[in-house]
Homo-oligomer: A and B are copies of this chain.
Amino acid sequence: MTRKIVDKNIAYTGRVFELQNLEIQLENNEIIKRDILKMGFSGAVAVLAVTKENKVILVKQYRAGADKYLIEVPAGLIDEGETPEEAAIRELEEEGGYKAKKLKKLTEFYTTPGFTNEIIYVFEAFDLEKTEQNLDHDEYIDVIEYPIEKVDELDLKDVKTLVTLNFLKNKLKK
């Protein structure tokens, strides 16, 4: 006996997500209502990138949900038709100003499985070449190249950044 979605109504369609009212049939056949956000396209990516000078590439920008400026790893939504790998290469260059020649997938996760289907794919980038930031007209992003041995001193509040930098810390311990 498992749950299943038995009815779906689209309550709102936005630029990035659609708000759906679901009716879900429970294990005991009872019907409950849940609101969820269905993200467009295939999710998002986050990138761990360390320069030849042993600095990790971080970005600081205003985040509308939190209404705060936060320090994060380079990240962004996967565009239509893009693979997660292509999105990771593109976002690292657009936000961070580095082009990576190689990627390794580190993990993937749901950010909030209770109410969105958003998945973030995390990659490590290798063979970085310095290029230039290439931001949209509405993006204002400061790049911070931060010494890897000091990442524990950062006040990080964004979960994808915590998970991504954990991979860096575990590597440094070895």
Contact = CB atoms under 8 A, between A and B. Distances in A.
A64 B110 contact: no
Contacts of A158: 109-110, 113
Given A26-B140, A159-B163, A163-B162, A110 B63 contact: yes
Contact of A32 (B138, B156, B166): B138
Contact of A162 (B17, B109, B115): B109
A42 interface: no
A142 to B, nearest CB: 11
Contacts of A114: 63-65
B115 A64 contact: yes
Contacts of A33: 15
Given A35-B14, A163-B163, A112 B107 contact: no
Interface of A: 2-3, 5, 11-12, 14-17, 19, 22, 24, 26-27, 30, 32-37, 62-70, 72, 107-118, 120, 137-138, 140, 156-160, 162-163, 166
